[in-house]
A and B are shown apart, each in its own frame.
Chain A
């Protein structure tokens, strides 16, 4: 509460503020029968409750001293209301440096991630490509399953030749892991020049129900072509990254903030073909010596998925799709927000 009451006035001696409760203000100080300053002040503002207002008005009508007191208060308020505003010596608008220093908090928070924007963009592209690959792979696996059913029982029906790339996304690949030579080519196919890879894919799928040896041969041809595709695709850096990263990135698809991981992806960029080759040794060697063994051995990727059966593989497509789609949404949101921040920075 305020400590010092105005000591001068004959009326303010009892001026202990507004009466509590607000119901019945103390209208008349018992001493001299005049209205106190608090009452007059509230009366001036029209802030007294109705009955109090009427009582005060009645007293004012009869009492010249209180009228004068009130008029002086009113004059004081009028003076206060009309006090001049100070001139500004300068303007207080914020410059860009202020804006950067203080900016809206969300933007400041986001801005810390600005350096990761290129990596995030790359990661988005990679995930989009992986999702496309998985989707195509699933589509094809369905087709193969039908084909297999039509052509009679074969080894472990239903698992696609291209099953290598979902291995990358999520480790569920079945027997097809054996011919994973096709896998990197597959995953490279959407990334690289579609026109060229598509026939490859055709031949690969065509060989899907063929005897093992010819199948292996098909994959070998594919693998032979694959580096060519790759070199060709080098022109678009992101594409190369896509190929290289497709096997590398998605094994950790659930990470909500993939920028740190993604940022490492562009690094080994030149090594992408090597990575692809390393992921498919079975295909990499046959590309040199064509007559490869029918069963080109198990790659690390294939071994990861080796434990799962055919049914697991089919559901794995779905899981991979969902995970990749979720990841893609997050990445897109992040890239959009960061791009917006960067645009604002440039403008501001």
Chain B
């Protein structure tokens, strides 16, 4: 208790270009452009990463715990980040993360190809929903819900090509954004965490959360609208938000309007 988002998010500015697998993917997803549009990020290392994941997973299926633990190391930051943002509570998030990997280990035999991280995040999302259900639905905007008992530390990374000023502004705004994020309804928050923070396409988020693609689109747009308003109308950060908007120009930060590819693919399935 007594420890709130603002304090926690006094971001440890590690302005290093990310190295290591988890951070590498993180950096890529940050520059990957509008992934929710269904366009795969064509980063060169991604195929290799996926192939490496697959190799490790096959070994894990043969019962090699060391290989599975290599997978854990590669993905634990992402899984933990998702759990923490969904559950907003560090001990619960750590438990959920551990449960996710235990579940993954016992279910590794039933993994049927595909990418490893979405599979892990699907398990994590289900686990988090279980926790949320068990908790009972808290008033989402209660400040109590935002209080943490222990302090997670955060590391912010510069998006490649970002100016130092934009980076600093973003770091400051992150504090407010986390707060607005924590106040979202659970379903919206889960969706926006997977779609915009983790950068998965609508279809992938739909597969992970088990809802229709149209529902995902709807939740994403609503959550974005809510977050935008929170940033824009909060007196503490609206100037920052405007400055950030000018610095990034919006377009540059998200890779510009989508091209023709992927447009047709997303039109077919919509809200029920």
**Across the interface, do A49 and B263 meet the contact criterion of CB distance under 8 Å?**
yes
How far apart are B195's CB and chain A's nearest CB, in angstroms? Answer: 9
**Across the interface, do B106 and A104 meet the contact criterion of CB distance under 8 Å?**
yes
A-B pairs with beta carbons under 8 Å apart, 12 shown: A6-B226, A17-B215, A22-B268, A45-B258, A75-B253, A77-B34, A80-B227, A82-B30, A85-B23, A92-B98, A94-B102, A102-B103
Chain A interface size, under 10 / 10 to 19 / 20 to 34 / 35 or more? 35 or more
**Across the interface, do B152 and A86 meet the contact criterion of CB distance under 8 Å?**
yes
Asked if A90 is at the interface (CB within 8 A of a chain B CB), the reply is yes
Contact with A along B23-49 (1 / 0, CB 8 A): 100100110001011110000000000
**Across the interface, do B11 and A80 meet the contact criterion of CB distance under 8 Å?**
no
**Across the interface, do A88 and B34 meet the contact criterion of CB distance under 8 Å?**
no
Chain A minimum-CB-distance residue to B262: A46
Chain B minimum-CB-distance residue to A341: B63
**Across the interface, do A89 and B152 meet the contact criterion of CB distance under 8 Å?**
yes
When A18-B270, A78-B253, A92-B98 are in contact, do A73 and B258 touch as well, CB less than 8 Å? no
Q: Kindly identify, within residues 1 to 59 of chain A, every residue whose CB is under 8 Å from any CB belonging to chain B.
A: 1-6, 8-9, 11-12, 15-23, 37-38, 40-50, 53, 57
**A binding-site residues for B, Cβ under 8 Å:** 1-6, 8-9, 11-12, 15-23, 37-38, 40-50, 53, 57, 70-94, 96, 98-99, 101-108, 340-341, 344, 348
Chain A minimum-CB-distance residue to B260: A50
**Across the interface, do A80 and B232 meet the contact criterion of CB distance under 8 Å?**
no
**Across the interface, do A2 and B187 meet the contact criterion of CB distance under 8 Å?**
yes
**Across the interface, do A46 and B263 meet the contact criterion of CB distance under 8 Å?**
yes
| Chain B neighbourhood of A3, CB < 8 A | 185
User: Once the chains are docked, how many angstroms separate the CA of A239 from the CA of B109?
Assistant: 39
When A45-B34, A45-B258, A57-B257 are in contact, do A84 and B155 touch as well, CB less than 8 Å? yes
| Chain A neighbourhood of B86, CB < 8 A | none
Chain A minimum-CB-distance residue to B35: A45
User: Once the chains are docked, how many angstroms separate the CA of A86 from the CA of B227?
Assistant: 20
When A2-B219, A71-B250, A75-B241 are in contact, do A85 and B270 touch as well, CB less than 8 Å? no
Q: Which 6 A-B pairs have the closest CB atoms?
A: A46-B258, A78-B253, A17-B218, A74-B250, A71-B250, A45-B37
| Chain B neighbourhood of A22, CB < 8 A | 266-270
When A2-B222, A21-B270, A77-B253 are in contact, do A92 and B153 touch as well, CB less than 8 Å? no
B-side interface residues, number (CB < 8 Å): 102
Q: Kindly identify, within residues 186 to 214 of chain B, every residue whose CB is under 8 Å from any CB belonging to chain A.
A: 187-188, 192, 196-197, 199, 202, 214
| Chain B neighbourhood of A48, CB < 8 A | 258, 263
Chain A minimum-CB-distance residue to B84: A86
User: Once the chains are docked, how many angstroms separate the CA of A71 from the CA of B192?
Assistant: 18
Asked if B122 is at the interface (CB within 8 A of a chain A CB), the reply is no
**Across the interface, do B154 and A96 meet the contact criterion of CB distance under 8 Å?**
no
**B binding-site residues for A, Cβ under 8 Å:** 11-12, 22-23, 26, 29-30, 34, 36-39, 60-61, 63, 65, 68-69, 72-73, 76-81, 84, 90, 94, 97-98, 101-103, 105-110, 150, 152-157, 159, 170-171, 173-174, 177-178, 181, 185, 187-188, 192, 196-197, 199, 202, 214-215, 217-222, 224-229, 231-233, 241, 244-245, 248-251, 253-254, 257-260, 262-264, 266-271
**Across the interface, do B217 and A42 meet the contact criterion of CB distance under 8 Å?**
yes
**Across the interface, do B109 and A104 meet the contact criterion of CB distance under 8 Å?**
yes
How far apart are B173's CB and chain A's nearest CB, in angstroms? Answer: 6
How far apart are A339's CB and chain B's nearest CB, in angstroms? Answer: 13
When A75-B245, A85-B154, A104-B108 are in contact, do A47 and B37 touch as well, CB less than 8 Å? yes
Chain A minimum-CB-distance residue to B198: A81
When A48-B263, A75-B244, A344-B63 are in contact, do A37 and B102 touch as well, CB less than 8 Å? no
**Across the interface, do A50 and B264 meet the contact criterion of CB distance under 8 Å?**
yes
| Chain A neighbourhood of B267, CB < 8 A | 22-23, 49
Contact of A6 among B38, B150, B229, B245 (CB under 8 A): B229
User: Once the chains are docked, how many angstroms separate the CA of A48 from the CA of B221?
Assistant: 13
